[in-house]
Chains A and B, each alone.
Chain A
Amino acid sequence: MRTEQDTLTIMPNRLQAKQGEVIDRSTTIRFTFDGREYSAHPGDTVASALTAAGVKVLSRSFKYHRPRGLLCCAGHCPNCLVQIGDEPNVRACTRPVEAGMEVQAQNVWPSLKRDLLSLTELGSRFMPVGFYYKTFIRPQKLWPLYEHTLRHAAGLGEAHIDTPPGEFDKQYLHTDVVVAGGGPAGISAALTAAEAGAQVLLFDENPTLGGHLRFTIPLESPSSTEVSKDSPELLEAVNQQPNITVFTDTSVLGWYQDNWLCAVKGTRLLKIRTKSMVVATGAYEMPLIFDNNDLPGVMLGGAVQRLVHLFGVLPGKQVVIVTANEDGWDLAADLHSLGVNVAAIVDEREPNACASPYRDGLVNAGVPVFYRHIILEAIGSSAVRGVMIARLDEHSKISRVTTQSLQCDLIVTSIGWTPATELAYMAGGKSEYNSDRAEILPVSTPPGIYVVGRAAGIHVVDSQITEAQQAGSNAAAFAGFGEFDEAAAQSPGVIEPRRTSDRVCVPGNKKRFVCYCEDVTDQDVETAIAEGYDSIELLKRYSTISMGPCQGAMCSMNTIHLCARANGSTVQETGTTTARPPITPVTLGALAGQNMEPVQITPIHQWHLDHSADMMVAGLWLRPNHYGNPVAEALCVRNRVGLIDVSPLGKLQLTGPGVPELLERIYINQWRNLRAGRVRYGVMCNDEGVVLNDGVCAHLRDDTWYMTTTSTGATTVFEWLQWWLQSGWGEGVHLTDLTDNYSAFNVAGPQSRAVLEKLTDRNLANKAFPYMRIRSARIAGVLCRLLRIGFTGELSYEVHCPSGYAVHVWEALMDAGREFGIAPFGVEAQRILRLEKGHIIVGQDTDAMSDPLSANMAWAVKLDKPDFLGKPSLMRIFAEGPKQLLVGFKMVEPDVVPAEGLQIVVPEMDGQLEIIGWVTSSRFSPTLEEVIGLCWLPTEIASQNGTSFSIRMDGHIAEARVHHGAFYDPDGERLRM
C-alpha cells in the first residue's frame, strides 16, 4: 500500500485533497515524459501531473529553443505542446493523462534539458524579425539544404508517415439556439432559452461545465440576487432541462454564413445550423511583457487557480503576485488561505485604488504589499529563482534606483483580460476599445447573435447571470420561442471596475516576448514597424505574431497596444486583425472525416467483383475497367461476342406532343422526320456552338421518346433540359430521368444476334430489326428496350431492362452466350473498340472550345433548321471555316503509344519546338496491330490524309500520319450485318 509520504515524494507539489477537484486520489497511474516515469491520478492532465512532480520545463521555444513551462493552463498558449505517441502538438494542460502514455517534448535536440539549438539565441541578432524573408535566399541551389536545416531547428511535433489513419467522423446538428461556452453566463443563457421552449446546444471546451466557477472564489457582489451562483446547482439545473444538449470537450471553431457553425469534439467534427447564438466564450488572461517573461515559473493567475482547485497542485512554494486588479488579490487570498507563502503582492495601482475585500486580511497576516510597483525581470536560467521589482514615480515612469529583488519560485501575473469575441466578430459583430477599461469590448452584434459573460466584459457573477438570462430569452425569441425582452435593450449595462492594465510592456535589457508561439519580442515589433510594416495586419503577416498555435489568444491585444504606441496612434485607430476560423487548432483528420466520396454502382456491381473486375471511377460511377485482359476482351467482341454493363448511360424519357419541337431546338440534328421505331445519333451544343454532349435518341412510339446521354454528362444534360423546359420551352413536354430505373447492357459482336435469339421470341433478323432501330422485346421473360446501335463497330444490341431485373437479364445473357464464347468486357476494351471505329468521346476528345465542325461532326449540323441552340454561333463558325480539326492518326512505329495529352510540335528556326496540336486518344489496336489515335491539328495539316507530323514524347520525337475515316470497317458493313 502506498502511504501519504510516498505520494509526497513522487508528487511533491500535490496539495491536500479538497472539494471541487477532478482527480481520483485513490488510484495512481504511471506514464512517461521524455523517457522518465511519472505518476498521476486519473483526472490529471499531462501538465498537472508533471507539475505535481515538480517538472517545470515542458517545451523549447520555436526559434530560440528557450525553455518554456506552463503559462495559461487553459489550452490557449503554445508553451505545453508535446508529442504523445504518434500525435504531435498536443496541449499537455488539457489532455487527460492515461496509464502508459508516452509523452515526448517537441522541438528539442538532443533533449529537453540540454538543447544545443538554444545556442541559436547567441546568434539572435542575426535573426531579426522577418529574417527568413531576407536570408537563406541566395544561392538558390542551396535552398534544399537551408530548408532541411531550418525544418530541423524550427517547427513543432513530428507527423509520422507510417502512423495508422485514425477514425474520424462528422455529425450534423440542427437547433434553435447555440450557446458557445458553459460558464455561469453560458449556462444561464442556455437555461432561459430552454425554458422558453427552444432546443439548445451548449458547447464547452472543458471536460465539465462551470467555466471559471470551477476554480475561482465567486466575487463578492454588492447586490444579492435570488439566482444561485453556485456551480453545482447550475449544473443540476442543466441536467434537469430536457431541451439542453451539452457537448463538453468541444471547441467551436468558427461561424459561417447563416449561423452555420463548426465545432470539434475529439475526432468528430460537428456542423451545426442554428437560428440564434449566444457567445459565452469568456476571456483570455493577458500576459505582461517584461524581461525574461517566458521563464518557466511565470504563470497567469487563471493557470494557478486551475492547478490548485481542479488538480490540487501548487506550482511553487514562494509566490509573488504581480497585479493591477482585484483578481490578483482574490488569488492572493485564495493561496494564502491554503497556507501558501505569498512572498509579495506587487500592485501597480495606488493603495486607495485597491478595493479588494481581502486586503486588510492579507495585510494583517503580514503579506508584503508593494503598491505603485511593477515587475522588471524574472530571475533564473531554466526556472524562476526570484524577481526584480521597481517603484513607479508620480509620472508612472519606472524609478530604476528603487529596483529591488525578491526571492520566489513562482511569479503570477494577473493584469487583465481580453474578451474572447472571435465568434461574434465572425458573425459580423463590432467591437470598440474602451479606454476606461483598457479592453476591446463588443458594442453591437447582428440580429440573433448575443455576447454575454466575460466575452462581453462582465466579470461579476451576478451580473453575468442576469445579462445572460436576458440574452438567452432573446435568443429563444429570435428562434420563435417567447417574446423579446425589451428591458434588455434598455439596460444601461453593467458598471464594471477596471480590471485591465494598459501598461502591457515593461522595457528592460533582456528578451521580452510578445508572441510565445513564434518567439517574437517587443523589439521585433518595433523593428518591423520601423521597416514600414506599421498597420496591424501587415505587422501580423511580417512578424507572424498571432499566426501560431495560440492564434492570438496570448498576444493579439498586447500587439495592438505596441503597434499603437510605436505609431503614436490610439488602440481604436490601430484596430484588430481579422478573426478567422479555426479559433483553436484542429487536426486535418477531423476536417477530412471519413472517406465518404459517394460513388454510384450498377445492379451488376457484385457480379463484376465476383468475376475479378478491376473497378475504376468514371464520373460518379464505379465501372469495370477490365476483367484481367482488355485486349483479349476487345478481340472477343471483334471475333465472337462480348457483354458490357453500360448502365451509367444517362436515360431520359420525353413524352408529349411538344417533344419533336424541343429536340429540334436542343440538338443540332434533324428530328421531325424520325419515324417511330427509329434511333438517331444526336449532338447537343450550347449557344456558343460548343459540343455539350452526344448520344442516341429513339422515337419509341407516338409521343414517347427515349434519349441516352454520355455516362458522365447525364446529370448535366438533365439539368440543361430542365432549364429549357422550365424557362419557356416546356409546353407539351414531360421529362423523366430513368437513368437509375433502367440498366443497360451492350451485347456486341458478330454472334450477338445468335445470343439474343435464344432469349426472345422477337424476330431479330436484319430485315425485321435493322441497324439504328428500337424494339420492345421480352429478354429472358423481362420486357426490355432493344436499341440496335454500334459504338464498338460490330453488330450489337443495347438491352435496356428495368433495374430490378438487371442481374437476371445479365446472367441470362452470359448463360446464353456461353456456347458462343461470350466474355464480359470493360471500359478499356470499349475504348479500344470505339477508337478503332474513330468514334469520339465528348469531354475526352472534345473540350470547352470544340465545335461540331472542327470535331468532325459537320454532317450532323442542320443549319437549314429554324433556330436551335448554337445555330447563330455555328452559322458564323461555318462561314469562317475550322482553324483546327479533330482527326485520326496512325503511329509510324508500331510499338510507340503516345500518352493522351502529349503535344504535337514542329521545329522552329531557332531550334525551339512550336506546339501545333495535341493527342486526345491513343491505343494499340489489337485488330489492326497498329497504334492509332485521335488528335487536334491545324486544318491545313489535318485535311491531307497521310500527312506526317511529330509528337513530343518523353525525350524524343515520334512520327505519326494523319488518317481519315474509321480505322476499322470504314464503310460500317459489320454494323449492318
Chain B
Amino acid sequence: MLLLTCPNCGDRNVSEFHFGGELSSRPKDPSALSDAEWANYLYMHNNVMDAQTEWWHHNAGCGLWFLADRHTQTNEVIKTYPYTKRDA
C-alpha cells in the first residue's frame, strides 16, 4: 500500500486519504467565460503520464487538503506540501 506523507501527520497509509484530482483552480470570474472555456474547466483534465501536482485530503486524520507531486506511471510520490495561494 502506498505511503503518503501528510504535511501535518507524517507518513500514513494511503487508505487514510481521499484523492482530489489534479491541481486546478476555479476561474476567478466564471461569468466572463465562454461555453467552451467553462466546459474546459469542468471536464477537460490533463491526465498526464508523468509527474503531476494533485490534491489529497487527509480525511481519516487532520482534515488537511494538501498537494502531492506524484508520478502517475510509477506512483512515486516526489513530495507533499501544504497548499498556498501561490499554487493556485
On whether the beta carbons of B75 and A257 are closer than 8 Å, the reply is yes
- What's the interface size class on B, roughly? 20 to 34
Kindly identify which residue among A687, A688, A722 contacts B26, using a CB–CB cutoff of 8 Å. Answer: A687
**Which A residues are CB-close (under 8 A) to B49?**
none
On whether the beta carbons of B65 and A723 are closer than 8 Å, the reply is yes
- Minimal beta-carbon separation of B49 from chain A (angstroms): 18
On whether the beta carbons of B65 and A726 are closer than 8 Å, the reply is yes
On whether the beta carbons of B1 and A873 are closer than 8 Å, the reply is no
- Minimal beta-carbon separation of A250 from chain B (angstroms): 19
- A871 on the interface (CB 8 Å rule)? yes
In the complex, which residues 37-63 of chain B have their Cβ closer than 8 Å to any Cβ of chain A? Answer: 38, 41-42, 55, 57, 59, 63
Report the bound CA distance from A258 to B59 in whole Å: 21
- A940 on the interface (CB 8 Å rule)? no
- A719 on the interface (CB 8 Å rule)? yes
Given A257-B75, A727-B65, A867-B30, A876–B1 Cβ distance below 8 Å? no
Report the bound CA distance from A642 to B77 in whole Å: 54
On whether the beta carbons of B64 and A726 are closer than 8 Å, the reply is yes
Contact with A along B10-25 (1 / 0, CB 8 A): 0001000010100001
In the complex, which residues 686-700 of chain A have their Cβ closer than 8 Å to any Cβ of chain B? Answer: 687-688
In the complex, which residues 74-88 of chain B have their Cβ closer than 8 Å to any Cβ of chain A? Answer: 75, 83, 85, 88
Report the bound CA distance from A873 to B30 in whole Å: 10
Among A257, A273, A728, the one with the most B-chain Cβ atoms within 10 Å of its Cβ is: A257
Kindly identify which residue among A257, A722, A726, A872 contacts B38, using a CB–CB cutoff of 8 Å. Answer: A872
On whether the beta carbons of A258 and B2 are closer than 8 Å, the reply is yes
Given A719-B18, A867-B30, A257–B63 Cβ distance below 8 Å? no
On whether the beta carbons of A256 and B88 are closer than 8 Å, the reply is no
**Which B residues are CB-close (under 8 A) to A722?**
57, 63, 65
On whether the beta carbons of B18 and A258 are closer than 8 Å, the reply is no
Given A872-B38, A876-B35, A727–B59 Cβ distance below 8 Å? no
**Which B residues are CB-close (under 8 A) to A688?**
42
Report the bound CA distance from A876 to B29 in whole Å: 16
Report the bound CA distance from A258 to B75 in whole Å: 10
**Which A residues are CB-close (under 8 A) to B20?**
723
Given A719-B59, A722-B65, A726-B83, A871–B1 Cβ distance below 8 Å? no
**Which B residues are CB-close (under 8 A) to A728?**
85, 88
On whether the beta carbons of A256 and B1 are closer than 8 Å, the reply is yes
- Minimal beta-carbon separation of A878 from chain B (angstroms): 14
**Which A residues are CB-close (under 8 A) to B59?**
715, 719
- A968 on the interface (CB 8 Å rule)? no
Among A256, A258, A715, A719, the one with the most B-chain Cβ atoms within 10 Å of its Cβ is: A258
On whether the beta carbons of B57 and A723 are closer than 8 Å, the reply is yes
On whether the beta carbons of B1 and A719 are closer than 8 Å, the reply is no
- Minimal beta-carbon separation of B67 from chain A (angstroms): 10
Question: Nearest CB to that of A428 among chain B residues?
Answer: B74
In the complex, which residues 847-903 of chain A have their Cβ closer than 8 Å to any Cβ of chain B? Answer: 867, 871-873, 876
Contact with B along A254-275 (1 / 0, CB 8 A): 0011101000000000000100
**Which A residues are CB-close (under 8 A) to B33?**
872
Given A257-B75, A260-B1, A687-B42, A872–B31 Cβ distance below 8 Å? yes
Report the bound CA distance from A827 to B48 in whole Å: 46
Question: Nearest CB to that of A271 among chain B residues?
Answer: B1
Kindly identify which residue among A257, A715, A719, A871 contacts B2, using a CB–CB cutoff of 8 Å. Answer: A257
- B9 on the interface (CB 8 Å rule)? no
Question: Nearest CB to that of B33 among chain A residues?
Answer: A872
Report the bound CA distance from A257 to B70 in whole Å: 14
- Minimal beta-carbon separation of A269 from chain B (angstroms): 14
- Minimal beta-carbon separation of A400 from chain B (angstroms): 55
**Which A residues are CB-close (under 8 A) to B3?**
257-258, 260, 273
- Minimal beta-carbon separation of B24 from chain A (angstroms): 10
- Minimal beta-carbon separation of A252 from chain B (angstroms): 15
In the complex, which residues 711-747 of chain A have their Cβ closer than 8 Å to any Cβ of chain B? Answer: 715, 719, 722-723, 726-728
- Minimal beta-carbon separation of A970 from chain B (angstroms): 37
Report the bound CA distance from A818 to B26 in whole Å: 55
On whether the beta carbons of A258 and B1 are closer than 8 Å, the reply is yes
Q: Main SS of the interface on chain A?
A: helix
**Which A residues are CB-close (under 8 A) to B85?**
728
- Minimal beta-carbon separation of A666 from chain B (angstroms): 13
Report the bound CA distance from A722 to B18 in whole Å: 13
Report the bound CA distance from A573 to B33 in whole Å: 56
In the complex, which residues 166-183 of chain A have their Cβ closer than 8 Å to any Cβ of chain B? Answer: none
Given A258-B1, A722-B63, A873–B88 Cβ distance below 8 Å? no
**Which A residues are CB-close (under 8 A) to B42?**
687-688, 873
Report the bound CA distance from A402 to B85 in whole Å: 86
Report the bound CA distance from A256 to B14 in whole Å: 12
Question: Nearest CB to that of A876 among chain B residues?
Answer: B35
Question: Nearest CB to that of A866 among chain B residues?
Answer: B31
**Which A residues are CB-close (under 8 A) to B88?**
727-728
- Minimal beta-carbon separation of B16 from chain A (angstroms): 13
- Minimal beta-carbon separation of B30 from chain A (angstroms): 4
- Minimal beta-carbon separation of B59 from chain A (angstroms): 6
- Minimal beta-carbon separation of B47 from chain A (angstroms): 18
In the complex, which residues 415-460 of chain A have their Cβ closer than 8 Å to any Cβ of chain B? Answer: none
- Minimal beta-carbon separation of B2 from chain A (angstroms): 5
- Minimal beta-carbon separation of B70 from chain A (angstroms): 12
On whether the beta carbons of A727 and B83 are closer than 8 Å, the reply is yes
Report the bound CA distance from A715 to B59 in whole Å: 9
- Minimal beta-carbon separation of A650 from chain B (angstroms): 14
Report the bound CA distance from A687 to B38 in whole Å: 10
On whether the beta carbons of A719 and B38 are closer than 8 Å, the reply is no
Report the bound CA distance from A273 to B4 in whole Å: 13
Report the bound CA distance from A723 to B64 in whole Å: 8
Question: Nearest CB to that of B64 among chain A residues?
Answer: A726
Report the bound CA distance from A260 to B1 in whole Å: 6
**Which B residues are CB-close (under 8 A) to A867?**
29-31
Report the bound CA distance from A876 to B30 in whole Å: 12
Report the bound CA distance from A273 to B10 in whole Å: 15
On whether the beta carbons of B1 and A257 are closer than 8 Å, the reply is yes
Question: Nearest CB to that of B20 among chain A residues?
Answer: A723
**Which A residues are CB-close (under 8 A) to B57?**
719, 722-723
Report the bound CA distance from A728 to B23 in whole Å: 14
- Minimal beta-carbon separation of B14 from chain A (angstroms): 9
Report the bound CA distance from A366 to B38 in whole Å: 92
**Which B residues are CB-close (under 8 A) to A726?**
64-65, 83
Question: Nearest CB to that of A869 among chain B residues?
Answer: B26
- Minimal beta-carbon separation of A692 from chain B (angstroms): 15
- Minimal beta-carbon separation of B7 from chain A (angstroms): 12
**Which A residues are CB-close (under 8 A) to B75?**
257
Report the bound CA distance from A723 to B55 in whole Å: 10
Question: Nearest CB to that of B87 among chain A residues?
Answer: A727
Question: Nearest CB to that of B65 among chain A residues?
Answer: A726
Report the bound CA distance from A129 to B75 in whole Å: 39
Question: Nearest CB to that of B35 among chain A residues?
Answer: A876
Report the bound CA distance from A806 to B1 in whole Å: 40
- Minimal beta-carbon separation of A267 from chain B (angstroms): 22
Question: Nearest CB to that of A725 among chain B residues?
Answer: B65
Among B35, B55, B65, B75, the one with the most A-chain Cβ atoms within 10 Å of its Cβ is: B65
**Which A residues are CB-close (under 8 A) to B65?**
722-723, 726-727
Question: Nearest CB to that of A729 among chain B residues?
Answer: B26
Contact with B along A272-313 (1 / 0, CB 8 A): 010000000000000000000000000000000000000000
**Which B residues are CB-close (under 8 A) to A872?**
30-31, 33, 38
Would you list the 5 A-B pairs with minimal beta carbon distance, nearest first?
Answer: A258-B3, A872-B30, A260-B1, A726-B65, A257-B2
A: which residues have CB within 8 A of B?
Answer: 256-258, 260, 273, 687-688, 715, 719, 722-723, 726-728, 867, 871-873, 876
Of the A-B pairs whose beta carbons lie under 8 Å apart in the complex, a sample of 17, sorted by A's number, is A256-B1, A257-B1, A257-B75, A260-B1, A273-B13, A687-B26, A719-B59, A722-B63, A723-B20, A723-B65, A726-B64, A726-B65, A728-B85, A728-B88, A872-B30, A872-B31, A873-B38
Other A-B contacts than A257-B1, A727-B83, 13 sampled, CB-CB below 8 A, are A257-B75, A258-B2, A719-B59, A722-B65, A723-B55, A726-B65, A727-B65, A728-B85, A728-B88, A867-B31, A872-B30, A872-B31, A876-B38
